[in-house]
Amino acid sequence: MGHPFPIREIARQAGLSEATVDRVLNGRGGVRESTAREVHRAIADLDRQRTQVRLVGRTFMVDIVMQSPERFSTAVRTALEAELPSLHPAVVRSRYHFRETGPAAALVAVLDRIGRRGSQGVVLKAPDVPEVTAAVGRLAAAGVPVVTLVTDLPASARIGYVGSDNRAAGATAAYLMGQWLGERPGNVLTSLSSGFFRNEEEREMGFRSAMRARQPGRALVEIAEGQGLDATQYDLVRAALERDPEIRAVYSIGGGNIATLRAFEDAGRECAVFVAHDLDHDNTRLLREHRLSAVLHHDLRHDLREACHIVMRAHGALPSAGPTLPSAIQVVTPYNMPATATG
């Protein structure tokens, strides 16, 4: 695998020793396959970030740790790397630790490993469980600032949160749902990827509260723990449709929307209104095809830029600022999609 990067840079990006990287690059053996993959992944990351690597300035190595479906973690990676060149005079480099699902212990192990090897900051999307909160505390004690992304850990030692006001987003979804359903009968399916992500819990609370105020007679049917993955989401939606013949609309809080629509189609049922979150590649395509009514979106580039600024402020590289304001909630329809949307 040809590359122009010194072993020292690759080792730093991968979080490995220079000797280990040298063994992988020269095929000397004695290295686990997973470690070799980390080296090659680090080279690929450096290649995408090459506009940053050669800049002169104070360097901040930031670790992005996320439990999220691949479609959203890819959107975050793309947004961050689009912002990196604009962060002059600092040089921000990023390492990625993505997983779609799994036990909290595996996520905690990643955070503890980052704490041991060192980092200038962590941007974290994680479930709000005690083990993760404790791991954030250990990072803070080690001098590693943590910024939560799109879903908060308010009881933790994180130094900031970037993302939208999730209760307001849920209430916005309820407003749209009520406007489009009007007086037509039918129940609404609300779909969460997991009950342990605070952002989803807050969206659901905002939605439920506004629906109760605006359309108190309309029943809400909740499903959860599909992890936003199509493979698990389909069965949950199909079972809900079989239990309740009155479901006519969907508020998708946690994703898996391709599978949700397929479950409606296979059951021979119409989805009259479908409100979802985030312009990832799946939702962009579904919106273009008019299979979603609207997507509630916020500017991930703004979020990632602000997360990097919070990390820099923690190290004294930027002047202190006031509280970080929530990202603006954008209601995106097939007719006002951003020019940058891809799918």
For residue 50, give every residue at least 6 positions away whose Cβ sits within 8 Å of its Cβ, in sequence order, or none: none
What is each CA distance from 74 to 15, 64, 80, 96, 211, in whole angstroms?
A: 21, 12, 10, 10, 32
Query: Is 331 a member of any domain?
Result: no
**Residues 310, 290 share a domain:** no
Report which residue type is found at 174: A
State the pLDDT at residue 92: 86
Q: What is the largest CA-CA distance in the chain?
A: 70
- Would you state the pLDDT for residue 55? 46
151-202 pLDDT, tens digit each = 999 999 999 999 999 999 999 999 999 999 999 999 999 999 988 999 999 9
pLDDT score recorded for residue 84 = 85
Quick check: 146 and 139 in contact, CB under 8 A? yes
334 within domain boundaries: no
Residue 221 lies in a domain: yes
Residue 195 lies in a domain: yes
For residues 157 and 190, the answer to whether their CB atoms sit within 8 Å is no
Residue 18 lies in a domain: yes
- Tokens of residue 312, six digits: 């820099």
Mapping DSSP onto H, E and C, the string for 105-159 reads HHHHHHHHHHHHHCCCEEEEECCCCHHHHHHHHHHHHCCCCEEEECCCCCCCCCC
Distance CA 72, CA 78 (A): 10
Count of the separate structural domains present in the chain? 3
Query: What CATH number does residue 227 fall under?
Result: 3.40.50.2300
Domain membership of residue 67 (yes or no) is yes
Burial of 105 (0-12, 13-18, 19+ CB in 10 A): exposed
Does residue 124 form part of some domain?
A: yes
> What digits encode the pLDDT tens for the residues 276-297?
999 999 999 999 999 999 999 9
Range of the domain at 101: 59-163+300-325
Domain for residue 121, yes or no?
yes
C-alpha 46/C-alpha 61 separation (Å) is 12
Residues 88 and 135 in one domain: yes
